[in-house]
């Protein structure tokens, strides 16, 4: 049960931080806050990795999808893991919504365009797949900030596009239209899978395995 609890907690933290970051002084501060939180949680999750499996699946459903497709996490628990991420994010979204009147107004943004949401989230998902595999392969953990930076070029509410669960949490907090959140979440998951497939096609298997 620990990975499920950790997944729910991570998505709750990321959703809450992202909701709060959308009220930062400017967009750069918002992106930096979300990126720093993701790097910190990924660093902690990496402590649970070993030669057979990765611990990074607890950071987001997108990361879990990428890792499952390259054989770094079992498929058998993917559905409960996804559910844990979504439950954590939605709970955090409700908390953020309850605190809305106590916080400053969000920075102005327009995230209602589902085409922009879908295409943008797909780009973020591909970068995220690369970043996940790079960090899992021993690269610097800071590389996982890359998809957040890419998302920062989109309408600001989509700064959470690195995680489909966070997008649903932001929609729960009424910071993102449900239509855009759903399209972006689906596009992000598909892109995470495509990114893993591309990595598997480009990197030859180790003949000793």
Instruction: Bin 8: left if φ > 0, else alpha if -120 < ψ < 50, else beta.
Output: alpha
Q: Give the span between the Cα atoms of 26 and 112, in whole angstroms.
A: 20
Percent of the chain with pLDDT over 90: 63
Q: Does an H or E element contain 155, and which?
A: none
Torsion of CA 80, 84, 87, 93, to 10 degrees: -150
Q: Please give the pLDDT value at position 18.
A: 94
E strands, the chain, are none
Read off the pLDDT of residues 186-198 as tens digits, 9 standing for 90 and up.
999 999 999 888 8
Residue 68 has pLDDT above 70, yes or no: yes
- Residue 4: alpha-carbon gap to chain centroid: 16
Residue 41 has pLDDT above 70, yes or no: yes
CA within 13 Å, CB half, 31? 18
Read off the pLDDT of residues 91-132 as tens digits, 9 standing for 90 and up.
999 999 999 888 777 766 666 688 888 999 999 999 999 999
SS3 content of the chain, % helix, strand, coil (to 5): 70, 0, 30
**Do the Cβ atoms of 130 and 70 come closer than 8 Å?**
no
Residue 20 has pLDDT above 60, yes or no: yes
Ordered by start, the domain boundaries in the chain are 2-202
Output the pTM of the full model.
0.90
Question: What's the CATH fold of domain 2-202?
Answer: Glycerol uptake facilitator protein (1.20.1080)
Read off the pLDDT of residues 141-171 as tens digits, 9 standing for 90 and up.
999 999 999 988 887 778 888 999 999 999 9
Percent of the chain with pLDDT over 70: 92
Q: Please give the pLDDT value at position 185.
A: 94
**147 DSSP assignment:** H
Q: Please give the pLDDT value at position 201.
A: 66
């Amino acid at each position: 049960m620990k990975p499920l609890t950790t997944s729910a907690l991570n998505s709750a933290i990321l959703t809450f931080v992202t909701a709060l970051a959308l009220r930062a002084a400017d967009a750069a501060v918002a992106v930096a806050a979300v990126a720093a939180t993701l790097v910190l949680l990924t660093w902690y999750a990496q402590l649970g990795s070993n030669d057979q499996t990765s611990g990074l699946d607890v950071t987001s459903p997108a990361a879990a999808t990428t890792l499952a497709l390259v054989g770094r996490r079992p498929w058998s628990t993917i559905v409960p893991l996804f559910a844990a991420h979504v439950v954590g994010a939605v709970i955090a979204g409700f908390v953020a919504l309850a605190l809305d009147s106590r916080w400053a107004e969000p920075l102005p943004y327009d995230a209602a365009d589902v085409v922009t949401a879908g295409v943008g989230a797909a780009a973020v998902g591909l970068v995220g797949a690369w970043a996940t595999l790079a960090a899992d392969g021993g690269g610097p953990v800071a590389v996982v900030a890359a998809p957040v930076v890419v998302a920062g070029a989109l309408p600001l509410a989509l700064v959470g596009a690195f995680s489909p669960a966070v997008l649903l949490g932001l929609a729960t907090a009424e910071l993102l239209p449900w239509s855009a959140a759903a399209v972006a979440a689906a596009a992000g998951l598909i892109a995470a899978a495509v990114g893993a497939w591309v990595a598997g096609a480009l990197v030859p298997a180790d003949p000793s395995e």
